[in-house]
Amino acid sequence: MLTVHHLNNSRSQRVLWLLEELGVPYEIVRYQRQPDMRAPKELRAIHPLGKSPVITDNGNTIAESGAIIEYLIATYGNGRLIPPPNTPERLRFTYWLHYAEGSAMQPLLLKLLFTLMPKRAPALLRPLVRKVSNQALTALVNPQLKQHMDYWEGELAKSEWFAGNEFTAADIQMSFPLEAAQARGGLEQGHPKAMAFLERIHARPAYARALEKGGPYQVGR
């Protein structure tokens, strides 16, 4: 049976959600984050990088959210949650599937890093680290993040979903950046289309089922 190696409060929540949307049977092997928020070393027994999400299926071990989504859609989708080939919607689907991790997550990860650095610095260095972090956030990270959030807002003004007027796996992939932006990027300020997108995905029954099976998920809460 297909197995999801699921790290709590992580991107692997999207994989559970996709499987629930497709109605594919699966089992979950659970891993808990360490106090420093990193994945436990046990995940390295599944994949050398020891990161999540990872799935195993029919002798295959597949990592990276985009690769996992492509595999699941090709293997179990039967044409569902992906636009037809050679259409503008299919091109948009492919773009958003890769943009989510390739571009959108970078400023969000930098935001998290520079926010945490002062809290974790030695007491004597904390004022200096806080000053450097605040300068990086103000001059570099926050403007980039706002640019991305404005971009999402503009695209969602063109169609209800990222690839067009039909819900696809690209929306599942894009859920994590938008939830992270809501949690720590100020998405709610001036981005009503993006916030409406989050309301729509959170109302989906498959999303709720994935939450029940995956456990506490606080990235976007």
Q: What local confidence, expressed as pLDDT, does residue 221 receive?
A: 41
Instruction: Kindly report, residue by residue over 144-202, the tens digit of the pLDDT.
Output: 999 999 999 999 999 999 999 999 999 999 999 999 999 999 999 999 999 999 999 99
Q: What local confidence, expressed as pLDDT, does residue 37 receive?
A: 67
Q: What local confidence, expressed as pLDDT, does residue 76 receive?
A: 98
CA distance 163 to 89: 5
Residues of the chain by 3-state class (helix, strand, coil), percent to 5: 60, 10, 35
What is the b/e burial string over 93-130, where b = at least 16 CB atoms within 10 angstroms of the residue's CB? bbebbebbbeebbebbebbbebeebbeebeeeeeeebe
CA distance 35 to 60: 31
Predicted model pTM: 0.93
| Domains detected in the chain | 3-82+207-214 (3.40.30.10), 88-204 (1.20.1050.10)
Quick one: pLDDT band at residue 220, thresholds 50, 70, 90? very low
Instruction: Kindly report, residue by residue over 13-40, the tens digit of the pLDDT.
Output: 999 999 999 999 999 999 888 776 677 7
Residue 38 CB neighbours (<10 A): 12
